[in-house]
Chain A
Amino acid sequence: MPDKTQAHVNYYGSEPDAEVASRDSKRQPTARANAARELYFEAKSSVSMEFPYWYTRRWEQLEGEIPIIRRAEALKSGFEHLTATIYPGELLAMGKASYLRGSFPMPWLSEAFFMAAEDDLYKEAQESGKLTADTFTTMGKGGGNVTKSAGRVISIAGKFGLRVEEMPVMIEVAKKWKDKSVDDIGHKYEQLVPGYKEKEALMRSVICMFDSGYTLPQGREVMNYYYPLQFGIDGIIRNCEDGIADVAGYPGMDRLYFYKAVILTLEGIKQWIKNYAEEAQLLASIEKDEKQKNEYLELAERLEWLSSKPPRSFHDALQMVWLFHAAVQNEDAISGLSPGRIGQVLYPYWQRDIKNGVLDREKSLELLECMRIKFTEIDCFASMGVVGGVLSGNTFNNLCVGGLLKDGSSAANELEMLILEAGITCDTPQPTLSLLYDEKLPEEFLLKGIECTKIGTGYPAWVNNQVAMEFLLGNYAHEGMNPEEARAWGIGGCLETSPGSWMPLEIDNEIHWIPGGSAPATSVGVHFLNLPKLLEVTLFDGMDMRTGQRIFPPHGYALETYDETWQAFKDYFSRACHVLTLTNNIQHDAWRKISPSLVNSMLKPDCLAKGKDIGQMGCRYNTTFNIESCGTTNLVNSLGSLKMNVYTEKNYTLNQYREAILANFGYQTAQETGSYSLIDQVPTGDYHNWKKIHSQSLGAPKFGNDNPFVDAILKDWEDWFCDMAHNYRSLYDQPMYACQISVSTHGPMGAVTLASPDGRLSGTTFSDGSVSAYPGTDKNGPYALFNSATCWNHAQSQNSQLNIKIHPSVVNGREGSRKFLELIRAYLRKGGFHVQFNIVDSRMLKQAQAEPDKFRSLLVRVAGFTQYWVELGKQIQDEVISRTEYEEL
């Protein structure tokens, strides 16, 4: 008989008796959006060389020019030579490259990972540990990924397709950047950091996942569209011309070059927009269908207008937002470039159009659906370890709704209701949605959010507005942030709390204070640190027993007490943070010197006012480097197991644990079984020798059950980690902060980690997020999980992440919606920062894993992002399947 005091859970995936349950009924998108989405489903990720070719060609011509001008000229050339492609039915045009899911290499950042494995550049990168994460990453095998070369198409990084006729030029262009790219220059100088070899060892062991300076130097931030909306492109150019007149010849001459560089970049963007306008004209000239012809003509007129002037309507403004979003994506390899609170940014345009009768709700919804398709088309070209191991092919364009206005009242509006509706009718991974929960938000709005979450898209994420503001004031007050400004925040990327500012958008002589990002990337620095692996290295006195390589010198502790073990772990963690902070600062310094941001800089307050790009602290807020962790729950559970089994009850010695870890508790490894969740692991012949210690490890107190013994360990860790992160200084000489999101790193980081003292087996995926329970171990229901998760103050960290899986039957109907909202409220009122849900029957996921072709459109929530199931790697698929599934609340 099940224990009625506990929620009914599927421990390690046992299956309920009923039939596979579907989610609440879904609505369909408009015919236009549906056609666009069908085209997207058929499209493969595709790479072209147009932009990097012209960028590099122009760069080479300007040897000796002032670096920021050289960069601007190269960007200009890239933009103005991009071939325009417009697909039938598009109301919003333009994209990163000429393919529907187009992207391109940026060898000025890094040129090694996409070379052939036998190439010297690739070998050098392997030796330095830069590409180790690639080896332990599984890419999704379906959807839009080009997993294998076929015919005249070459597969790169298991995801991107490149035409064979562009392969030779890709290699030639890449080689032109050897010893000149951000990666190479940064690497040259990071080796001067004392103890640098330790950094390479950390990368090779995948204790650290990747360097942010040359992989994804921008992103995890909120866009700001104020300047193009208010002034138009020509208006920004005029502002820069005025700036030049003010500063030319005076001290502080860097401002002169910055303004000139912005003008040059905008000239390229203008031509890029005009290319699309010309293409729309061409399509109109050959179109026989009158309706489509008129749409092409309207599009041509709109783009021509926006190539110089500010928007006149909601449709214009939405197109302007999109084109600048795409433009920033083309200046750097970026993930997590979030549009932010655009339902509030665009509301004045929408209100006016509705009032004037030139727009209705039906047309608005169609436009918002088209916007969803455009954001979903974004691809980021990066290495397998980054695009697969971290991003799972996702690009994290987070759109926030809710929160508060400048005056502290609810910011929810009718347009945001439509944005949520479009998320329901046109369920796509991008833009993912986050609802900034505040007690002041109206019930109707919250229930709309519930309606959206219930359909199983994994969005909106529910995020605590007050906790975020407390974090921001704690970290940005010294840069001038006050409570009013803190209200302008948004989520950058999957879950990075990012500062914003209120900007005075003037329409028809009325000022509307709109929120927008006012900081550079809020998540660069030490990315990510593998906590269970660091504990493993601690237990083995500095050795990585998987590779047999020494990572750290011996720590000098006998580990005879729990406190000694805890201290040794903290020492190693601090040591890793120290060297990785210094090497990353050098890489980011190389980035800002070689490849400074211009498009993003011109958009972010107060770069234009200061005459400085974001790398020179032109933004209003610059405390933006962090230390990211992965595997918190497995670390805490492992410490709990050691504390109980070794130090308190003395059931085993530490040496017995070491032997059990090396023997993988008598099981095959995940790499041997090809499965990455604990549920599917296969015992070996000597399993019985380890059965007892494994059983007692699994049976030790686990996080997520409101158990004070293990929750106290979590609190100790959080209080220490969130505080010690401030001891490290960023490139901008600002204190760093803790960031606790796993994204997809819990897959490859689990893959390199031996069995852990909590009973987890070698190579299996860690628990996701930072306060999600390990699959099957949260046995006391969600409210007990909430108590465990909130035993520490979440405002100490940039984020915390809790993902929960709920069977669809639990939240069915209106009663289910009310119950669901109360559940979320309970967590957020306890001080939880973020909670997200997969509303899905696990058996559907197993079916989808077995028959991916039948589930092309199935979306799931991973850790801070929603992705098509078929585009996830097996490490993550197995972990999502194995998550505890609540069948009662």
Chain B
Amino acid sequence: MEETGCKDCRYYLPVDVFRGMCKLSKDPITPDDPLCAAMEHIPKCKFCAYYTTDKDYLGKCMGSILAYPDMIASKCADFKWDKQN
């Protein structure tokens, strides 16, 4: 399991690679700030049942296709929440 932070929340609005804002509070936050109680995970490969980790920041989708954990998968037709996460 990769590290998590505000970047994993559906209410995180990225401005750039350094910072963003919370869609709920409009407060400035960074992608690595700790998740709060209001957080809801956004679909990402690392939360998907079909994702397996190979090495740091790289893995496989369905056992064969190159994938990476932080890819937002909201529009991936095959995304399936991994209940273990």
Q: Given A81-B75, A83-B72, A88-B26, do A169 and B17 touch, yes or no (CB 8 Å)?
A: no
Q: Is the interface of B mostly helix, strand, loop or mixed?
A: loop
- Chain A residues contacting B68 (CB-CB under 8 Å) are 49, 53, 165-166, 168-169
Distance between Cα atoms of A373 and B18 in the complex (Å): 21
Tell which of A40-48, A307-315, A502-510, A823-831 binds the partner.
A40-48
Judge if A80 is at the interface, Cβ distance under 8 Å: yes
Q: Given A44-B18, A57-B66, A163-B17, do A286 and B57 touch, yes or no (CB 8 Å)?
A: no
B75 touches A98 (CB 8 A): no
B18 touches A161 (CB 8 A): yes
Which residues 39-71 in A have Cβ within 8 Å of B in the complex?
39, 42-47, 49-50, 53, 57
A101 touches B66 (CB 8 A): no
Q: Given A80-B75, A169-B58, A283-B23, do A153 and B14 touch, yes or no (CB 8 Å)?
A: no
Distance between Cα atoms of A165 and B56 in the complex (Å): 8
A165 touches B70 (CB 8 A): yes
- Chain A residues contacting B55 (CB-CB under 8 Å) are 168
A167 touches B57 (CB 8 A): yes
Judge if B37 is at the interface, Cβ distance under 8 Å: no
Distance between Cα atoms of A283 and B22 in the complex (Å): 11
How far is the CB of B53 from the nearest CB of chain A, in Å? 12
B14 touches A168 (CB 8 A): no
B76 touches A99 (CB 8 A): no
B14 touches A99 (CB 8 A): yes
How far is the CB of B27 from the nearest CB of chain A, in Å? 12
Which residues 1-29 in B have Cβ within 8 Å of A in the complex?
2, 10-11, 13-19, 23-24, 26
Distance between Cα atoms of A46 and B58 in the complex (Å): 20
Among B2, B16, B69, B74, max chain A CB count under 10 A is at B16
How far is the CB of B80 from the nearest CB of chain A, in Å? 16
- Chain A residues contacting B71 (CB-CB under 8 Å) are 49-50, 53, 169
How far is the CB of A844 from the nearest CB of chain B, in Å? 28
Judge if B65 is at the interface, Cβ distance under 8 Å: yes
Interface size on A, residues (CB 8 A): 43
**A81 is contacted by which of B57, B65, B76 (Cβ under 8 Å)?**
B76
Interface size on B, residues (CB 8 A): 29
**B14 is contacted by which of A80, A82, A98, A271 (Cβ under 8 Å)?**
A98
CB nearest to B26 among chain A residues? A88
B23 touches A161 (CB 8 A): no
- Chain A residues contacting B32 (CB-CB under 8 Å) are 152
- Chain B residues contacting A42 (CB-CB under 8 Å) are 15, 19
B26 touches A43 (CB 8 A): no
- Chain B residues contacting A83 (CB-CB under 8 Å) are 72, 74-75
B70 touches A99 (CB 8 A): no
CB nearest to A169 among chain B residues? B68
A165 touches B17 (CB 8 A): no
A43 touches B11 (CB 8 A): no
How far is the CB of A792 from the nearest CB of chain B, in Å? 47
Which residues 51-85 in B have Cβ within 8 Å of A in the complex?
55-58, 65-66, 68-72, 74-76
Q: Given A49-B68, A169-B68, do A43 and B15 touch, yes or no (CB 8 Å)?
A: yes
- Chain B residues contacting A725 (CB-CB under 8 Å) are none
**B69 is contacted by which of A82, A165, A173 (Cβ under 8 Å)?**
A165
Distance between Cα atoms of A169 and B69 in the complex (Å): 10
Judge if A275 is at the interface, Cβ distance under 8 Å: yes
CB nearest to A88 among chain B residues? B26
A135-147 Cβ-contact flags toward B at 8 Å (1 or 0):
0000000000010
Q: Given A163-B70, A165-B68, A286-B23, do A85 and B14 touch, yes or no (CB 8 Å)?
A: yes
Judge if A261 is at the interface, Cβ distance under 8 Å: no
Distance between Cα atoms of A154 and B49 in the complex (Å): 29
How far is the CB of A584 from the nearest CB of chain B, in Å? 33
- Chain B residues contacting A271 (CB-CB under 8 Å) are 75
A28-45 Cβ-contact flags toward B at 8 Å (1 or 0):
000000000001001111
How far is the CB of A802 from the nearest CB of chain B, in Å? 37
- Chain B residues contacting A189 (CB-CB under 8 Å) are none
Distance between Cα atoms of A152 and B7 in the complex (Å): 13
Distance between Cα atoms of A719 and B68 in the complex (Å): 57
Distance between Cα atoms of A501 and B31 in the complex (Å): 47
A43 touches B58 (CB 8 A): no
B17 touches A50 (CB 8 A): no
B69 touches A50 (CB 8 A): no
How far is the CB of B20 from the nearest CB of chain A, in Å? 9
- Chain A residues contacting B74 (CB-CB under 8 Å) are 83
CB nearest to A101 among chain B residues? B16
- Chain B residues contacting A161 (CB-CB under 8 Å) are 16-18
- Can you list 29 contacts pairing A with B, beta carbon distance less than 8 Å? A42-B15, A43-B15, A44-B17, A46-B16, A46-B17, A49-B68, A49-B71, A50-B71, A50-B72, A57-B65, A57-B66, A85-B13, A85-B14, A98-B14, A99-B16, A146-B17, A153-B17, A161-B17, A161-B18, A162-B17, A169-B66, A169-B68, A172-B58, A172-B66, A176-B66, A271-B75, A275-B75, A282-B23, A286-B23
Chain A residues in the interface with B (C-beta under 8 A): 39, 42-47, 49-50, 53, 57, 80-83, 85, 87-88, 98-101, 146, 151-153, 161-169, 172-173, 176, 271, 275, 282-283, 286
The 3 A-B residue pairs whose C-beta atoms are closest, nearest first, are A161-B17, A169-B68, A46-B16
Known: A153-B18, A168-B55, A169-B66. 20 other contacts (CB 8 A): A42-B15, A42-B19, A43-B16, A46-B14, A46-B17, A50-B71, A53-B71, A57-B66, A82-B75, A85-B14, A152-B31, A161-B17, A162-B17, A163-B70, A169-B57, A169-B58, A172-B58, A271-B75, A282-B23, A286-B24
